[in-house]
């Protein structure tokens, strides 16, 4: 059935989506530049009503919009509804899988207001969320991501006439003490983790983090093609120019562990029993922290493994430049240009000092 002119449209979006059908209505016209003719012409622009699992649901939403437009229902639309609409938009879907997981994790901290009308929420409400997160020991980075998510939701809400003011812009996340983030495992705790390998599932991956200094995301992105079992090195890394594709020597203590994972032939080096990749959030919340609890050591965040590696190297007397090279610190780029080249043999000597 053809819809009347100006009524709106429903169509299916490409790709594998949970809600593939989009309903939208024309909102007005705008002048756009036509590259072919070199002239400006009028073009319709649309307001998205929502994303739906079936075409029928999308058509029903379109019909409801004409009897009760979104702007008129704005007083009752909840934070959860705004979020669920937003995660079906290209703004969210075009993000990397890891970034999507980060935002999904951030929304859990906003869940206390999930059923509150979005228009009723103010800056104080979001700052209370941040305050509670800080009490629970969350990092500055996580709190900042929560603020970014709130701002993205407001941009969507303003665009769709749900509200006309962005209360996310005014959020003040305050000051942070970074001592917790820089905590390291003690030598006794490292020994307990070593002794638990083979007894506590995933303990071996914690040891990989400690003896390579890799970030969790870096470890989980590794494939067997990043591992050289002849020279016992890993080529990998992300984030900074100094960190990308750096060479990381494999410590003798974790060589059997690396070989075990290598032989699994999964899609990634570290993978599920079925060989599938593991997301950072799943690893941290469902594998890493439960493993530490079983081992009986402090529940430090995964980044503490990286600090532990740096601390162990420093205590063993490793050269500062070698430490920077292994960890892929951004400051290495400048240091390396000014001072000297550190070859793989030197890096191996440094890691073996632990």
Catalytic residue among 239, 244, 259, 276: 239
Q: Do 167 and 88 sit in the same domain of this protein?
A: yes
Query: Which residues lie across from 227 on neighbouring strands?
Result: 234
Least trusted range by pLDDT, from 128-142, 266-280, 330-344: 330-344
Catalytic residue among 7, 11, 45, 339: 339
Q: Does residue 182 lie within any of the structural domains?
A: no
Q: Do 143 and 267 sit in the same domain of this protein?
A: no
320 with 336: CB under 8 angstroms? no
Active site residue 307: no
Amino acid 335: pLDDT: 36
Q: Do 193 and 330 sit in the same domain of this protein?
A: yes
Q: Does residue 313 lie within any of the structural domains?
A: yes
Q: Does residue 296 lie within any of the structural domains?
A: yes
With pLDDT > 70 as the criterion, what percentage of the chain qualifies?
A: 81
For residue 314, name the pLDDT band (cuts at 50, 70, 90): confident
Q: Does residue 310 carry a pLDDT above 70?
A: yes
Q: Do 295 and 218 sit in the same domain of this protein?
A: yes
Q: Structural domain tally of the chain?
A: 3
Amino acid 347: pLDDT: 56
Q: Do 120 and 213 sit in the same domain of this protein?
A: no
**H-run or E-run covering 144:** helix 140-159
Q: Do 229 and 144 sit in the same domain of this protein?
A: no
Using one digit for the tens of pLDDT, what is the confidence trace for 43-68? 776 777 778 889 998 888 888 777 66
Amino acid 124: pLDDT: 94
Active site residue 66: no
Residue ending a domain, choose from 113, 147, 176: 176
Q: Across 37-125, where does the E strand assignment appear? A: 39-52
Q: Does residue 259 carry a pLDDT above 90?
A: yes
**H-run or E-run covering 235:** strand 233-236
Amino acid 346: pLDDT: 58
Q: Does residue 30 lie within any of the structural domains?
A: yes
Using one digit for the tens of pLDDT, what is the confidence trace for 84-130? 889 888 888 888 887 888 899 899 999 889 999 999 999 999 999 99
Active site residue 239: yes
Range of the domain at 3: 1-69
Least trusted range by pLDDT, from 30-44, 101-115, 189-203, 263-277: 30-44
Q: What is the CATH number of the domain that holds 111?
A: 1.10.150.130
Least trusted range by pLDDT, from 18-32, 50-64, 85-99, 206-220: 18-32
Q: Do 266 and 134 sit in the same domain of this protein?
A: no
Q: What is the CATH number of the domain that holds 218?
A: 1.10.443.10
For residue 277, name the pLDDT band (cuts at 50, 70, 90): very high
Residue ending a domain, choose from 69, 85, 101: 69
Amino acid 179: pLDDT: 45
Mean pLDDT value of segment 153-169: 90
DSSP 30: E
Q: Does residue 245 lie within any of the structural domains?
A: yes
Amino acid 334: pLDDT: 37
With pLDDT > 90 as the criterion, what percentage of the chain qualifies?
A: 39
Amino acid 32: pLDDT: 65
Q: Does residue 107 lie within any of the structural domains?
A: yes
**How high does pLDDT run on average in the chain?**
82
Active site residue 55: no
Q: Does residue 181 lie within any of the structural domains?
A: no
**H-run or E-run covering 220:** helix 216-221
Q: Do 48 and 79 sit in the same domain of this protein?
A: no
Least trusted range by pLDDT, from 47-51, 102-106, 328-332, 350-354: 328-332
Question: Under 8 Å CB-to-CB from 91, ≥6 apart: which residues?
Answer: 152, 156
Amino acid 295: pLDDT: 95
Residue ending a domain, choose from 35, 50, 69: 69
Paired tokens of 201:
């599932």
Active site residue 303: yes
Q: Do 205 and 344 sit in the same domain of this protein?
A: yes
Q: Does residue 30 carry a pLDDT above 70?
A: no
Amino acid 76: pLDDT: 80
Q: Do 276 and 330 sit in the same domain of this protein?
A: yes
Amino acid 337: pLDDT: 40
For residue 243, name the pLDDT band (cuts at 50, 70, 90): very low
Catalytic residue among 24, 85, 251, 306: 306
Q: Does residue 243 lie within any of the structural domains?
A: yes
Paired tokens of 227:
């591992």
Give the integer Cα–Cα distance in Å for 253 and 352: 9
Q: Do 206 and 313 sit in the same domain of this protein?
A: yes
Mean pLDDT value of segment 303-310: 88
Catalytic residue among 215, 251, 268, 307: 215
Q: Does residue 219 carry a pLDDT above 60?
A: yes
Give the integer Cα–Cα distance in Å for 202 and 263: 16
Catalytic residue among 19, 64, 284, 303: 303
Ranges 11-15, 51-55, 289-293, most confident:
289-293
Amino acid 36: pLDDT: 72
Active site residue 325: no
Paired tokens of 125:
């409400």
Q: Do 203 and 341 sit in the same domain of this protein?
A: yes
Amino acid 25: pLDDT: 80
């Amino acid at each position: 059935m053809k819809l009347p002119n100006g009524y709106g449209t429903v169509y299916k979006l490409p790709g594998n989506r949970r809600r593939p059908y989009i309903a939208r209505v024309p909102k007005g016209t705008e002048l756009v530049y036509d590259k072919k003719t070199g002239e400006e012409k009028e073009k319709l622009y649309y307001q998205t009503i929502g994303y739906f699992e079936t075409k029928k649901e999308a058509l029903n939403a379109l019909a409801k919009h004409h009897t009760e437009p979104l702007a008129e229902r704005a007083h009752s639309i909840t934070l959860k509804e705004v979020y669920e609409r937003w995660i079906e938009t290209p703004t969210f879907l075009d993000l990397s899988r890891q970034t999507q997981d980060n935002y999904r994790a951030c929304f859990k901290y906003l869940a206390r207001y999930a059923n509150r009308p979005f228009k009723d929420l103010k800056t104080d409400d979001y700052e209370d969320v941040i305050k509670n997160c800080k009490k629970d020991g969350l990092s500055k980075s996580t709190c900042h991501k929560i603020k970014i998510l709130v701002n993205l939701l407001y941009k969507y809400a303003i665009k769709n006439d749900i509200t006309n003011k962005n209360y996310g812009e005014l959020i003040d996340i305050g000051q942070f003490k970074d001592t917790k983030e820089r905590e390291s495992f003690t030598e006794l705790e490292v020994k307990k983790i070593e002794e638990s390998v083979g007894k506590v599932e995933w303990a071996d991956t914690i040891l990989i983090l400690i003896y390579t200094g890799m970030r969790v995301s870096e470890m989980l992105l590794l494939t067997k093609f990043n591992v050289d079992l002849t020279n016992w090195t890993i080529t990998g890394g992300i984030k900074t120019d100094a960190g990308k594709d750096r060479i990381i020597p494999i410590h003798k203590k974790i060589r059997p562990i690396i070989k075990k994972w290598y032989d699994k032939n999964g899609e990634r080096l570290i993978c599920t029993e079925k060989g599938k990749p593991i997301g950072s959030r799943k690893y941290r919340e469902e594998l890493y922290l439960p493993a530490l609890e079983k081992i009986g050591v402090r529940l430090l965040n995964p980044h503490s493994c990286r600090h532990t590696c740096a601390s162990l190297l420093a205590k063993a007397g490793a050269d500062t430049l070698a430490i920077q090279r292994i960890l892929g610190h951004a400051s290495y780029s400048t240091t390396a240009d000014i001072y000297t080249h550190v070859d793989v043999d030197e890096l191996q000597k440094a890691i073996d000092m632990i």
